[in-house]
Amino acid sequence: MGYLRFETPKAHYALELESHQEDWSDLDPQHMDALFFDYPLTKKDDAEYLGRVMNSKATLNAGDRKLRMLLAKAAQGGAEVWLGDFDLNREDVNLRLKYRPGPGRIIGMLLGGSALLDLLEILEKKKARGQQEAAQKLIEGEIQAHKTELAQQGKSRSNKLKKLEARLKRAQEIRDSATLSRRAFLGLGKKVGLKAGAAAFSYAFLPPFQALLHAVSWPGEIRRREIARRALAWYSGSFFPTAASEFRNAMGAKKLEEIVAETVAKERGKKPTIGMVWGANHASLKEHLMDPSLREAMIQHFRPHLDSLGVDAEVMQSLFRARFDPQRQLWHVEKVPAQH
């Protein structure tokens, strides 16, 4: 698994991205000042309830076992624990609230639309050719029948025959105009294939590809884990930003930098080291911690949609702090006053 270390002007951070199904961690809270979990707070959560959760011995799943292990290490090393993430009651809104369409998506949509028009052109020509071939056969049948009538009458020409032959000639001209030569068909088909392929690349792979290039451009940070994280962060942040990931990342980063880091630094008299355990979908948490303008832009975008997202404004601002009491061997939880 491993974790990523980085630094902001206010704190040293260690970010571990997990699958929520693992019962072990590489983080060592004994050498940290604080831990921050992506425990999703709801309206029912208060200091008393969270205290019972943290002091419980229950290990119903892998997540519980990992939490107990980290809390035990934090207690031994004197690290405090902070909880400030929040829950979304209606995550389906994520698909409708977009921060901005990334350049990859715009390019992909244009190329895909162009490829679709080319494909429709091929299909229309094929349809028109089929219709005119059918009409041609009907007219040829009428001409043959009329010639038989003329032969029986001892005649060879008539006005009706002239009109039928004119109709046949017109049908043949339309059919020929709708006919694609082998070279033209292959050329148009190749164009459709190239555009569709470029659209798929731009739509699905361009952002991670750009992120890989960005990662490689920083000597010393070329690690497989960091490359993967940057690719995921790029994709979720500029390509498919949702409230479930980017809004929560922005709010979490704001609480960490503006409250947790400042509070711990003031009390301990040093720049704190803060460990973070979040789901892998929150890979861009680092970017939000490093860039105040990014997190503020994301917060301002989603803030007007709290009702649609099912987010309680008070819960969104909630932040709880837990410190271990070695005499009672219990975690004491208190709510930190909200800062707007």
pLDDT tens digits along 100-136: 444 545 555 555 556 666 666 666 767 767 776 777 7
Distance CA 337, CA 339 (A): 7
Last residue of a domain, one of 168, 195, 213: 213
The verdict on 111 and 205 lying in the same domain is: yes
H or E segment to which residue 276 belongs: strand 273-279
The verdict on 119 and 173 lying in the same domain is: yes
pLDDT tens digits along 216-228: 333 344 455 676 6
Grouping H, G, I as helix, E, B as strand and the rest as coil, residue 318 is coil
Q: Domain span at residue 15?
A: 4-99+241-335
Question: Domain tally for the chain?
Answer: 2
Looking at the domain assignment, is residue 230 inside a domain? no
pLDDT tens digits along 129-169: 777 677 778 778 887 887 888 777 877 788 887 887 888 78
Q: What is the pLDDT of residue 206?
A: 47
> Which whole-number Å values give the CA distances from 252 to 38, 86, 209, 220, 279, in the listed order?
8, 9, 27, 27, 13
Q: What is the pLDDT of residue 333?
A: 95
> Which whole-number Å values give the CA distances from 67 to 61, 110, 177, 273, 333, in the listed order?
10, 47, 72, 19, 16
The verdict on 110 and 207 lying in the same domain is: yes
Q: Which residues pair with 284 in a beta bridge?
A: none
Looking at the domain assignment, is residue 340 inside a domain? no
The verdict on 94 and 131 lying in the same domain is: no
Q: Which residue has the tokens 């059918």?
A: 134
Distance CA 103, CA 238 (A): 9
Q: What is the pLDDT of residue 101?
A: 47
Q: What is the pLDDT of residue 195?
A: 58
Task: Report the amino acid identity of residue 107.
Answer: I
Q: Name the pTM for this structure.
A: 0.62
